[in-house]
Every structure is written in structure tokens, then in C-alpha cells.
Structure 1
Amino acid sequence: METGPVVVFANFLSELAVDLDEGRILTQWAQQAPRKVWLLRPGDVFVSPVPLSREFLRYAYDLTGVPPESVAVIEVPPAGAVPLARAVREAGLIEHVRALAGDRGAALLPTALDASAVAFARDVGLGVHPYPTVEAAEAALRMTMLLNTKTGFREAAGRLGMRLPAGRMCRRPEAEGVARELLRDHEGVVVKPDRSAGGHGMRFVSRDELRGGASLQLDSVGGPEGLWVVEECLDVAESVSVQLEVTASGPRALFSGAMRTVQGSFTGYVSPLPPSCAHVAGELEEWGTALGRHLADHGYAGPFGLDALVATDGIAYASESNIRRTATTTPHSMITRLTGGSAGPPPAWSVSKGRTRSPMDFEGALARLRASRLAFDPDRGEGVVLYADAPPDGRSWRYAVIDRSAGDVEEQETALAEVLEFEGG
């Protein structure tokens, strides 16, 4: 529980995960900002880079029991691919945020701890959750920025004893030569830009692609001299992750699960780990805890994730760390809150996205869920939650499914695909 009011700062447009030059993908990610509504408690302020529908807000407040008049939502007008703090300034909203939160001992809760968020907190007179001082948050920035890179992670993971895919770090002009070298011993390689998230900018390259004088075509991520990582392409059975947080008493694991991916890009998540890869849970937690201690030693506090790949032979390989609130951190908080955080076994759940055959608004989608009895029922602690508002196109719906077991979750997802008429459903 928070000890005071919080300014939920949905700074998806951050240099932490991807270079700000990658404006299109950042703007796309920012469309997920409405999910932060599930964190709000009475007295809080939400600073969002995108508008939220009144229907969605009413729906979320009803499920969380938050009186609408007890929270403030500030929608920041678009300002291009710039950090949210700059967009707030350009919109002339600094004083509005200060008036709502600055004189009540509130703390900023950023999606990503970056330099612009820390500067914003200082300007407005806010703390930075969960740090004791703004200076303490600022001191953690160097490690936060470093371990959100592929090269920084590989170096730290190697020192901490994690198993890694064979690979090398290099500058962009060297990437093709490194790929050719690795392809002598491996059927395929994956080429990753140093600062990237969600699979953005990754290339999967086979031996055949670089035969006969063909060259490696990389996109513009990271600029002409940027750092890249080239790794063997494993025969992957599952992509998994463990989510943890660094607290005053040390790191603790929160949950683990399997990621749904398409060509390395994140499309969804299911927790707990399915039986096919449940055997790696202990090793994942061990690696995550070691990384958490390393982060704590360098002043970091708060949530982070460690991703790994489970090969078809059942062996796990660490792949990257995300030192920020990830795509699953807030949904997990929402699920824990909606199910009461009881002492019993945690529910099974998934988050994913489905594309409807025709557009619909939020009320229309919710009406279908309620008519089919799929909508989340607080009394039963199970059902479907439309956790991210209506999508801009009316078709690309994000949802969470909560139930007692993985099999029940799967059944609900199948029914949901029929009710909302997902393509391919």
C-alpha cells in the first residue's frame, strides 16, 4: 500500500527502453497508458499521454471501488516523440500538476525511471516512489540506463553466473562480420540493437540469407555507430520471464510466466509458467534475485523483469533485463487488487490482444462480455477485464483473463474470441 498520494506518470515515451528517434514505436506503446488507471487510489493523480474514455474510467473505478471525484486525470496533448515531462511543460500543465499534488507530499510513480522523470519530480516538488529522496532516485539512473541495454545486461549477467546464448557485442558496422563468424557454428543468429524493447529492431538471420554476397540489412535503430548484440539463434520452446522488485529488505520475486511472441516481439503473457517449462522457475528466480541484489547495490529500488529463453532441450538461457515497470507489472497489480490478494493460491491469468473483425466502442465490447457472462465478476474473482480502454482503431483489444487454473483461462480466451469475433478466432 502507498503511504501517501501518488502521481502516476505514464512516461512510455522514454529514452530508457528505446532511442527517442524511434518515435513511431514509442507513440504506439503510449497507447497502452490507460492501463495505469488500475493503480489509482483516492487522492492520486494520473498523468496520461493519451486520452481516456469516460466509459473506461467509470468501468475501472467501479471495479476498484475508487470514487471518481477522489482522483484527478490529466490528459497531456500530443507533442511528438518527446519525453512526457517535456510534453507536460509544452502544454503548460506544470502548475496544474503542482496544484493537484505538489503540496501534499506526493511521490511520482513513473513507468520508466529516467532523467526527465527525475527532473520533473524535482521541478514539481515531488518525491520519486519508492526512493527516500529525489537524489537517491537520481543516483540509480546510471545503472537503470545500463541494464536496459543488451550489452549492459550481457556483461552483468555473465558476471552474475547466468547462462547466456553464445554471442558477441559489437558496433553496427561490425555486425555483419560477427554474424558471419557465428554462423560458422550455428544455423542462425539473432541481431539485436543495444537499446530496444518488445523485439523492436531485432533481426533473425540464417546461413542462407548471407550466402552469395548478400549483405545484412539492419534498420536505423541506434544510429550508424550504435552498439548491437549478435547471438546464436536457439531452438526455442518457450520465452519466459520472472518479475521481481527491489525493496528496502532486498529483492523479492512477484510472479513468473511465459511470454507469447511473434518473431521475438511480445504479444502476450500467461502466468504461472506452463508445465512444459515450470522446471526453470527456480533457476529464473535465482538469476532474478542475483540481479536484484546487484541493482540494490547500485541504488535501484522498484520493479524489474528478467527474460529468458527455454530451448527445446529444456535448458534456460537469460536474454535481457527490463529495469522498469514492464507490460505485465501493472496487469499483475490489477489482478492482485481485483482478486483481493487472498492468502490462497494465486489465480492463473493471461494478458493478450485480439483483433475484432469490425470496430466497436468500449461500451459495445463490454456489453458483449456481460451478455455472455465473460465479464470479470468480483464475487467469483474470475473473468475478462478490458484493461486498456478502447483501442484507437476500435479493433485491437487488449484484455486480461483471470481464473482458477491455466485450463480455465484457456477456455475463457477461446470463448472470448468467439464473443468479440476476433480474426482467426
Structure 2
Amino acid sequence: MEQYRSPLIVYANFHSDMAVEVTARDVLNRWAEQAPRKIWLMRPGDVLVTPVSLSSPFRQYAAELLRVPADSVTVVTAPPVGGVPMAEAVRRAGLMDTLHTLTAERPGIQLLPVALDASTVDFAAQLGVPVAPYGPEGPKASAVEAAYRLNTKSGFRAVAGGLGIRLAPGEVCGGKNLSGTVGAMLARYERVVVKPDRSAGGYGLRFVSRTDPVPAPGEQAGAWVVEQCLDAVRAVSVQMEAFPAGPRLLFSGEMRTTTGSFVGYVSPLEERAGTFVKELWRWGSALGHHLAGHGYIGPYGIDAVLASDGRLYATESNVRRTATITPWVMVDRLSRTGKLSEPAWLLGRGRSRARHSFAGAVALLRAEDLAWEPSRQMGVVLYADAPADRRSWRYAVIGANRSRVTELEAALRNVMKLEVILE
């Protein structure tokens, strides 16, 4: 984030056609519930445009931990509109004049989106501000096209082989050919995974074995990818940034998943055997050079699994600001205040037996000496505001090493009586 030190409009455009189709209203609304976490990117003078409002206790809490005056950032809420990208929701909410005024008051301000989709590029042009970090010329059409392409399973498969990235055996097909493709794959492999071409976070994945019903012909519209279902030992990822001079490693870690869905993360990535960490970094570097060659500048990641055969297989690329990047920025900023170099951290979710207000949950953590404290160089951060049900909490744990953060998480789960969330 340090390269973006002009004022920013942090644009939480979770409602985008980049990761899934914009008509996937339910999943987009669920992802948008995490928009309040973008407050951890904010610095004085910044503007946050969010589809979900932030509670006052959460804003005060984040400001205190970041050592930023709470009133030094401006939050603009644009409620989502089903079936359209966020830019259209902003216009329908009548917020363009407000944003024009805010940008006029902040010379040099730039727009920092979650995803570099086409509507965002047009939106920035209407506001008269550049998209960070592309400068006045803006992103090339080829950069936007590359982002769209590599956020699809078929687009990633098309370039992975040439970049030396190993994939599970698979086929790309249309909906009319889906049942035949699944049947042909099941003749070779006992189990396959069926993926919508444009999907993320486990959305739309189906695991099919030889005893399961095969999708009916023409049942599913659009493009699909059918792959051998690997016997995965670990699910891992690397997050990087692409620049014209070459890619930069941000972090790597192990994903916590259930039925293909992301439910948590642990970083840094520790290697128990072999050299798969370096291989993952090499793959990320190769993809970064490919993206930069198309003019893309910004964050991206590769997800992969370590299979039981001891080899690493990439599963998808995500060319956008992923679910782990903002928490990583938060960890980095808080660790600097605590003079904690190379921190270990994890993200988790849990459902408390009792309901808590946000202030009440923070008070409980502080009373039990579990809350993040710079002087102790460790602790828990409730990084995503109070959940609507006051029970389904997202948290981060920061410490000097993985064993310490694991211990702190166990203590947190005991104190708040957290049960694992499986959906």
C-alpha cells in the first residue's frame, strides 16, 4: 500500500462481474458483508465507498488500533442493487455529486478497487480520477481483459501450461456437453470436480463420483471446467503484486477449506517436506510477468493443493484484491506499531454460543488478555465488524510464530465459546 500514498477512494466493489457473474446476487451479497474490513486500508483523508455500512464501535476500534483519528476518513455507503455492478448502485443512490465534491477537496486522489472490472474503469473516468496505481493514462484495455480472462478457470488453464504451472487433468466444455464431459472424465478417474468457469471461493463447485448422478445435458448454461478430483493433503496460496519491473511477493499461506469453500487462512506457509513453497513462488512469479506483459499492475494470487502424490497442483488464479490481502495489510500495519518483524497470523471464523455486541466482544477479549496489544506483540483482532446475528465472528490472530497464534486461537475459541462455521 505504500506506493499509493496520494489520497484514495477505497472502492469496495464486491458487486462485480469479475469473480462471478453479476447476476449471482446471493453470493455477491454474502461477500459484500465483508466490506467493512476495508477500513484497515484507510489513512487520513481517504474515502471508503462501501455497499455495507460500518458500525460506530467498529470504526472507533479500528481507528484506535491503527492510531488514525476516526473522523479523518469518510465513509460513503451505496446499498447494492441486484444484477448490476457497484458503479450503477452508486449512481442509483444519487451519490455521484457527493463523490465529485469529495474528490474536488482531495487533489491527487485515486480510486483503489477490489477488482479491475470494466464498470470501475468507466466509473473512475466519470469521477475524473485515475485508477491506482495506473496513473493519469489509466489501465490499458489489455490489462482489464487479462484480469477478466485469468479470473476464469478456462483462462487460467489456457496460459498455465506455457508458464510451467502444473494442473490436474481436466477439460473445458459448454453446458450442452457437460454431462458427456463428466461421464468421459469419470471413465478415467473415480471422482471429478465440476467448476463454473467464472467462480470463486468455492461458489458453484460440485464433486461428482461414479455413483453420483451426472448433470443432465443442457442443464447448466455457460462454460465449465471438469477436473480430476485430487486427493489433497493441503490447500495453499501465494499472493503477489504485478509491476512493470517484475512481480513482488506479498505473502503465502495455507487455506482452511470445507467442501471447497474458504473458511480461514494461516501464514506464513511452512513446508514440512519437499520444495513446494519455492515452486508456488515460481508459479506466482511467472504469472506476474505474464500479467505485466498485458499491462496489468496490482494484486493477484494462485491457489493450489499439495496432493497425496507429493506434488503441487494449481487450481485457479485470482487477479484482484483477494479475501486475504486486506487482512494482510492490517497485520502488517499493526505489527509495525508493535515492532514485530515477520509476524505469523491466521484468519478464522466461529459462531459464539452467546450473542455479543461489538463493544461487548472487544471488552471480553481485553478482560481475558487476548486482544491485540502492541507492547505484547500478539493478540486477536475482530477485523470485520459485528455480524448481523451477533454470533458469526471473523477474527485475526497475530503473534511471533505459528505455534503462538494457534495457542491464542484456542484460547479465543474457549473464551467466546466459538463453534466452527461449516458453510
Q: TM exceeds 0.5?
A: yes
Aligned-partner Cα distance in 1 for 2:414–2:354: 13
Q: Contact 2:23 / 2:82 at 8 angstroms: preserved in 1?
A: no
For 2:332, the equivalent position in structure 1 comes to 336
1:122 aligns with 2:109: no
Q: Contact 2:255 / 2:266 at 8 angstroms: preserved in 1?
A: yes
For residues 246-257 of structure 1, the aligned pairs below 5 Å read: 246-257=242-253
Equivalent residue of 2:418, what SS? coil
Deviation at 1:343, TM superposition (A): 8.7
Q: Contact 2:337 / 2:374 at 8 angstroms: preserved in 1?
A: no
1:175 aligns with 2:178: yes
Q: Contact 1:13 / 1:26 at 8 angstroms: preserved in 2?
A: yes
Equivalent residue of 1:46, what SS? strand
Deviation at 1:75, TM superposition (A): 1.4
Q: Contact 2:169 / 2:227 at 8 angstroms: preserved in 1?
A: yes
For 1:20, the equivalent position in structure 2 comes to 22
Deviation at 1:405, TM superposition (A): 1.0
Deviation at 1:373, TM superposition (A): 0.6
1:91 aligns with 2:93: yes
Aligned-partner Cα distance in 1 for 2:225–2:268: 30
1:111 aligns with 2:114: yes
Q: Contact 1:201 / 1:219 at 8 angstroms: preserved in 2?
A: no
Q: Contact 1:5 / 1:101 at 8 angstroms: preserved in 2?
A: no
Q: Contact 1:102 / 1:126 at 8 angstroms: preserved in 2?
A: no
The one-letter amino acid paired with 1:106 is: I
For 1:148, the equivalent position in structure 2 comes to 151
Deviation at 1:392, TM superposition (A): 1.3
For residues 252-263 of structure 1, the aligned pairs below 5 Å read: 252-263=248-259
1:366 aligns with 2:362: yes
For 1:131, the equivalent position in structure 2 comes to 134
Q: Contact 2:15 / 2:80 at 8 angstroms: preserved in 1?
A: no
Deviation at 1:198, TM superposition (A): 0.2
Aligned-partner Cα distance in 2 for 1:219–1:45: 46
1:200 aligns with 2:203: yes
Deviation at 1:64, TM superposition (A): 0.7
Q: Contact 2:110 / 2:129 at 8 angstroms: preserved in 1?
A: yes
The one-letter amino acid paired with 2:18 is: L
For 1:45, the equivalent position in structure 2 comes to 47
Deviation at 1:247, TM superposition (A): 2.3
Q: Contact 1:102 / 1:125 at 8 angstroms: preserved in 2?
A: no
Equivalent residue of 1:128, what SS? coil
Q: Give the direction of change, closer, same or farther, for the CA distance of 1:236–1:281 in structure 2 (3 Å limit).
A: same
Residue of structure 2 aligned with 1:355, choices 346, 351, 358 = 351
Identity of aligned residues (%): 51
The one-letter amino acid paired with 1:29 is: W
For 2:12, the equivalent position in structure 1 comes to 10
RMSD (Å), alpha carbons:
1.9
Aligned-partner Cα distance in 1 for 2:70–2:198: 38
C-alpha offsets along residues 93-144 of structure 1, whole Å, 9 cap, x if unaligned? Answer: 1111111124512100001110111111100111100112353254411111
1:311 aligns with 2:310: no
Q: Contact 1:194 / 1:227 at 8 angstroms: preserved in 2?
A: yes
Aligned-partner Cα distance in 1 for 2:113–2:352: 32
**Aligned pairs, number:** 418
Q: Give the direction of change, closer, same or farther, for the CA distance of 1:363–1:80 in structure 2 (3 Å limit).
A: same
Aligned-partner Cα distance in 2 for 1:143–1:32: 26
C-alpha offsets along residues 290-312 of structure 1, whole Å, 9 cap, x if unaligned? Answer: 00000000000011001111002
Deviation at 1:56, TM superposition (A): 0.2
Q: Contact 1:189 / 1:231 at 8 angstroms: preserved in 2?
A: yes
Equivalent residue of 1:153, what SS? helix
Q: TM-score, normalised by structure 2?
A: 0.95
Deviation at 1:77, TM superposition (A): 2.8
Residue of structure 1 aligned with 2:61, choices 53, 59, 62 = 59
Q: Contact 1:128 / 1:134 at 8 angstroms: preserved in 2?
A: no
Deviation at 1:68, TM superposition (A): 1.9
